[in-house]
Structure 1
Amino acid sequence: MGNTVNDHRAPDCVFCTIVAGEIPADRVHEDDQVIAFRDQNPKAPVHVLVVPREHRRDVRELAEQPELLAHLTSVAARIASDLADGDFRLIFNTGATAGQSVFHVHAHVLAGGTLAEGEM
């Protein structure tokens, strides 16, 4: 990727900084491929972001690595089971007009209770 440095880390990317441990986050999962942490502005009783360790701009770039996308999805399901009843909504905002504000792909895991239609 042309916009990455230091082994798939982008300059000025807040999620790359969180992955590196330079900014604290309330982590609920981490492994060699992804980390997951609670959203600071939750939209549901459980609102966790699952982020690949390697910088990828959005889900379109992540789709070029189907194994990593599948792993991220499996982690999301495990988080929903561990922190809620197992049911969850998984959201990828892709592009500024779709609501993406941090351009490091991340999945929003929303769970816990009944989620309203269109929530998020």
Structure 2
Amino acid sequence: MAPDYTPRGSRARCVFCAVVAGAAPAHEVLRTDRVVGFLDRNPLFHGHVLLVPVVHVQTHDEIPADLATDWLAASQALQRAVEQATGADGALLIVNNVVSQSVPHVHQHVIPRHRDDGLSRWLGPRRRYRDDAHAAATAAAVRAALTLR
């Protein structure tokens, strides 16, 4: 059984690169020269689509800046299409980074959601900050680590 993550810098075989190259089967819903969208082989709900860049990058922070506009446009178009095609009330958009990333190629999940689909607690239990000082210290740590490129 495959782990539910691939470490940063993984050299694991990339099935998404094979999909992009046409060497692995996939039910494609979108293909441009920059991105490919296809149905997830193990969907949370029918209509669950994965969006991948054509270029191999493992994590979200490695997505080239010049791809951002195409990535966002494709993501928005897929979100609207998945909702319309499945009659969904909305969509859940997720990009896992290392943890829960079972394929070492950045990908966005576009998952149709219905108000009564049972996923209200799907992302697990929430963890409150101990107090306002704890929240302020956490915010300060994030600000200190933040670098805009």
TM-score, normalised via structure 2 length: 0.63
Higher mean alpha-carbon deviation, 30-39 vs 71-80, is at 71-80
Cα distance in 1 for partners of 2:101, 2:58 equals 10
Runs of 5+ in structure 2 lacking a partner? 1-8, 124-149
Question: Percent of aligned pairs with the same residue?
Answer: 32
Higher percent of residues as helix? 2
What amino acid is aligned across from residue 88 of structure 1 in structure 2? A
Shift of 1:106: 0.5
Match of 2:146 in 1: none
After superposition, where does 1:9-28 map in structure 2 within 5 Å? Answer: 12-28=13-29
Q: How many residues align?
A: 108
Q: Compute the RMSD of aligned alpha carbons.
A: 2.2
Cα distance in 2 for partners of 1:91, 1:68 equals 18
In the TM superposition, structure 1's runs of 4+ consecutive aligned residues that sit over 4 Å from their partners are none
Report SS of the residue matched to 1:28: strand
- Alpha-carbon spacing, 1:118–1:45, altered in 2? closer, same or farther (3 Å): farther
Asked if structure 2 preserves the Cα contact closer than 8 Å seen for 1:43 and 1:119, the reply is no
Shift of 1:89: 1.7
Cα distance in 2 for partners of 1:11, 1:24 equals 19
